[in-house]
Amino acid sequence: MLPVIRLPDVVSGLALALLAVVYYVGSRGLPEGPAFFPRLLSGALLVLGATIALRALRKGTRPQRCETTPWPLALVGLTVAYALTFTQIGFLASTFAYTAGVSFLLGQRGVRLVVLAGVTTLSIYALLGLGLGAPLP
């Protein structure tokens, strides 16, 4: 019997790789110092996306029924929305909303979600904006 390609994994991997390329292109407008971290992340995302797609093509196992919600697609949607709104609504608001959305997808609820999103946003701001002097919208 011929192996069945896991098409959702191939599509997810290619979508992540494409997102990495878009993210890298977007970082080209940053000065060299602050551009290092976004470029590092885009490179890692490209490698991970390509790995997901290639593994799905190579393994070709029979698809199994998945009982989970389609949160990976929602995560990609949140990430695209974050990239599109980052400069319009600013770093703090967009990062807080993105972190809260990701936390919600991963099961956090209530006060814990808000605290996690707030601490994460302020930590990133302190590291990048204050510590490294990166220009943030």
- Whether the predicted model's global pTM rises above the 0.85 cut: no
Q: For residue 29, what are the domain limits?
A: 1-67
Same domain, 41 and 59: yes
Same domain, 75 and 121: yes
CA 7 – CA 63 distance, rounded (Å) = 9
The tens digit of pLDDT for each residue in 36-77 reads 888 888 888 888 888 888 887 776 555 555 555 566 778 888
Same domain, 97 and 58: no
Same domain, 7 and 63: yes
Same domain, 30 and 55: yes
Same domain, 72 and 136: yes
Instruction: Write out the DSSP string of 18-86.
Output: HHHHHHHHHHTTS-HHHHHHHHHHHHHHHHHHHHHHHHHHHH-PPP----S--HHHHHHHHHHHHHHHH
Same domain, 6 and 59: yes
Q: How confident is the model at residue 115 (pLDDT cuts 50, 70, 90)?
A: very high
